[in-house]
Structure 1
Amino acid sequence: MNTIRIAAIALIVAGVLALLYGGFSYTKDTHQAKLGPISLSIQEKETVNIPVWAGVAGIVIGGALLLFGGKGN
């Protein structure tokens, strides 16, 4: 498998995952305070939404790379 085919498959998989899940979330530490032996921290949950057009574009570009990306096998 050459690198163009691997990139095309990765784009298709990423596009399908973007359409299925629509986004992801993560936890970020924002503030910390240490008062002697006591430690306080605040964690915020951040959500990143992936637009539908980005998922569709990944699938289309990946498919185009698979069809037209290489000069044969």
Structure 2
Amino acid sequence: MNHLRDSNDAQLRILPTSPEVGQLFTGWSGELATCRKFAPIARNYTAAKLMSQVGLRVSEVQGLGLDDI
């Protein structure tokens, strides 16, 4: 259903495991304390965290403002 027409090279997408996602966010949150530009990294971290925990789509996260978060 969600594949290109006339494409014979359908690839299986394997989601990361829960520990792998935890490792990603643990490392990422550690960088928040030492990053040079805090606002963009904090925005990206928050958006990714919302998508992973709440299940928001990218288009839904794009429409959020600071008041929504």
Q: TM-score, normalised by structure 1?
A: 0.34
Larger Cα-atom Rg:
1
Higher RCO structure, 1 or 2 (CA under 8 Å, sep 6+):
1
Task: Indicate the structure with greater strand content.
Answer: 1
Task: Give me the TM-score of the superposition, normalised by structure 2.
Answer: 0.35
